[in-house]
Structure 1
Amino acid sequence: MLLRLDIADSRPLHEQVAGAIRRAIAEGECGPGDRLPPARELSQALGVNVNTVLRGLRALRDEGVLEFRRGRGVTVTEGADQRSVLLDLVRGLVTDAARLGYSKTDLIEMIRGIA
């Protein structure tokens, strides 16, 4: 799995790590059931602290994209490829809405009105 971070990106590094892994999943570089390299290897490859990588991995675990298993490492969950794409779309929607002056609560109400 080839991951790269953009040094010009203003987002925190752990968010960039999570984004790079999401992108790798969405582009098919790794799929459901695949095991990720250990955090130490990822940190060395990306040139960031191992705690930064772990923070990004935990965020993806909390989103349901990754699963941590004792003795088996970190694996991609079933359906993670679709979930990653959807999460990226939702993040873009929230960003666009904020730019236009809408809050997350406003978005939730809009979605409830559609459904």
Structure 2
Amino acid sequence: MLLKVDLTAKEPLADQIAGQVRAAVASGAVKSGDRLPPARELASGLGVNMHTVLRAYAALRDEGLIELRRGRGATVSHNASPASGRMAELVRELLAEGRRLGMSAEEVADLLRRTS
């Protein structure tokens, strides 16, 4: 899996990394059980701080897309599928758009509940 970051983009580097991993899951480029590069190695290859990669991995873990295990690194969750990867990507985009419009995450969630 080849990841790249744009150091001049407004989007935070950790969000760029997490987004690319989500896209790789959504496209099927990485599958359940696949290992992701170690944070130190990925940070070195991208020219970013290791904590930036760890922040991206933590966000993906919180979404249930990856599992982090000390000594074993990051692996794509057994629950992850192209559909869950794509949905997580869309939800993040929806929340970002809501923030741009001045809405909180709670307001976006309430709107989703009312329109479903």
TM-score, normalised by the number of residues in structure 1: 0.82
1:61 counterpart = 2:61: yes
1:10: which partner in 2?
A: 10
Q: Secondary structure at the match of 1:23?
A: helix
Structure 1 runs (4+) greater than 6 angstroms displaced: none
- 8 Å CA contact 1:61–1:67 kept in 2: the answer is yes
Unaligned residue ranges in structure 2 (runs of 5+): none
Q: What is the identity percentage for the equivalent residue pairs of Structure 1 and Structure 2? A: 48
Q: Distance in 2 between matches of 1:13 and 1:90?
A: 19
Unaligned residue ranges in structure 1 (runs of 5+): none
Most deviating of 84-93 and 95-104: 95-104
1:26 counterpart = 2:21: no
Q: Distance in 1 between matches of 2:37 and 2:8?
A: 25
User: Following TM superposition, by how much is the alpha carbon of 1:74 offset from its aligned partner in structure 2, in angstroms?
Assistant: 1.1
2:108: which partner in 1?
A: 107
Which structure 2 residues correspond to residues 34-113 of structure 1 after superposition, within 5 A? Answer: 34-80=34-80, 81-100=82-101, 102-113=103-114
TM-score, normalised by the number of residues in structure 2: 0.81
Q: Paired residues, what number?
A: 115
| RMSD between aligned residues | 2.0
